[in-house]
């Protein structure tokens, strides 16, 4: 990804620097802010007639965007931008068969970036006296339950690992399913992060946390370390190495997880590396771990992010349904009972 500082106006660069240096957000998060705001500014220039009609959005420069340009934005313009995203925005420009209309989640993220930018201009940089978007509503996001493996499917996945790098792949899958780490956290692990009973994990924004190891995870790590010591690693610090003896990339881990799912007879389209994190959270919550402990273990900044897992274990809902006195009623059975009497 290109460096946003190369073609962003100073107003936007200052905002991005604030989030990276003061707020401590990861570079990938800051880059997403840039891309969201660049799309918005390009749309505004086209919408306001500041570039020739029909100019492709990707060809519109934002280097001349200044305070006067952003300060006169209206809520109506943002709602028009939302309409454009939902109807006319290409979902994946690299796809051969292009589809239009971003999901509600994608639209909400872009609106969150815009709101954050204007909040910065008014409350932090104090360049605007009033926030023109203060009363703007955010898109409603449909509530969906996180998709995850069952306990039996998880066991099947772990039992089916039989690859060239069996000890490594089994170790990674075990960490996913027992510790609930993000894929970025797993590939970022160093040998120095391994302790006798815990891992030192660097999460989003560089925040560190301790994740304790159960017996199965500790054993999987120890078995892999025996093999790891025999490899003449190019990256001496990395815990997990690729076949090239360098640190494993996210893409390599994604590919390994997909292949492992297929080997276990599971749907590789339905599940992914991130779904293994969901699985760990769901299994722990269903076995007595309280939501606040789970929040710290997963490295969630906000509790409401963790609370999506409280809706997954539906044991109590099933009990409630069965407790309904109409639960076994059927008209045919009722008629038979009447004839008996």
Active-site residues, by number, are 182, 204, 274, 277, 300, 309
Beta bridge partners of 209: 201
Q: Phi/psi at 76 (nearest 5 deg)?
A: -60, -40
Radius of gyration of the chain (CA): 25
Residue 137: DSSP 8-state: P
In terms of C-beta distances under 8 Å and separation of at least 24 residues, what long-range contacts does 158-163 make, across chains too? 159/264, 160/260, 160/263, 160/264, 160/265, 161/260, 161/263, 162/263, 163/256, 163/259, 163/260
User: What's the full length of the chain, in residues?
Assistant: 341
Beta bridge partners of 198: 212
Per DSSP, the three-state class of 148 is coil
Q: In the block, which residue shows the tokens 């995203």?
A: 85
Q: What gap in Å lies between CA 276 and CA 173, rounded to an integer? A: 8
Structure tokens at 42: 């390009």
**CB-based contacts of 33: which residues, under 8 Å, 6+ apart?**
15, 16, 19, 113, 116, 117
Where would I find the beta strands (DSSP E) of 176-275? 198-202, 208-212
């Amino acid at each position: 990804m290109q460096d946003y500082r190369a073609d962003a106006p100073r107003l936007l660069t200052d905002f991005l620097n604030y989030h990276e240096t003061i707020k401590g957000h990861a570079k990938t998060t800051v880059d997403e802010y840039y891309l969201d705001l660049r799309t918005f500014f390009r749309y505004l220039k086209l919408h306001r007639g500041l570039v020739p009609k029909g100019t492709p959005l990707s060809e519109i420069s934002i280097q001349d965007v200044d305070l006067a340009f952003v300060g006169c934005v209206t809520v109506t313009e943002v709602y028009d931008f939302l309409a454009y995203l939902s109807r006319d925005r290409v979902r994946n420009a690299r796809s051969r068969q292009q589809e239009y209309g971003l999901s509600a989640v994608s639209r909400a993220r872009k609106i969150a970036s815009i709101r954050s930018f204007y909040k910065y201009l008014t409350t932090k940089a104090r360049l605007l006296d009033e926030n023109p978007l203060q009363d703007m509503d955010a898109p409603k996001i449909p509530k969906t339950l996180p998709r995850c493996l069952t306990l039996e499917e998880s066991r099947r996945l772990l039992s089916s690992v039989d690859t060239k790098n069996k000890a490594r792949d089994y170790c990674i899958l075990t960490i996913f399913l027992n510790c609930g780490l993000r894929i970025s956290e797993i590939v970022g692990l160093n040998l120095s992060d391994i302790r006798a009973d815990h891992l030192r994990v660097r999460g989003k924004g560089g925040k560190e946390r301790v994740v304790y190891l159960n017996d199965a995870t500790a054993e999987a790590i120890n078995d892999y370390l025996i093999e790891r010591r025999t490899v003449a690693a190019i990256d001496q610090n990395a815990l997990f190495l690729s076949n090239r003896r360098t640190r494993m990339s996210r893409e390599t881990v994604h590919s390994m997880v997909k292949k492992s799912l297929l080997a276990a007879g599971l749907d590789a389209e339905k599940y992914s590396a991130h779904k293994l994190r969901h699985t760990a959270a769901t299994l722990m919550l269903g076995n007595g771990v309280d939501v606040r402990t789970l929040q710290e273990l997963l490295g969630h900044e906000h509790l409401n992010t963790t609370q999506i897992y409280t809706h997954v274990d539906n044991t109590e809902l099933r009990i409630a349904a069965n407790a309904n006195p109409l639960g076994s009623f059927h008209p045919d059975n009722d008629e038979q009972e009447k004839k008996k009497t």
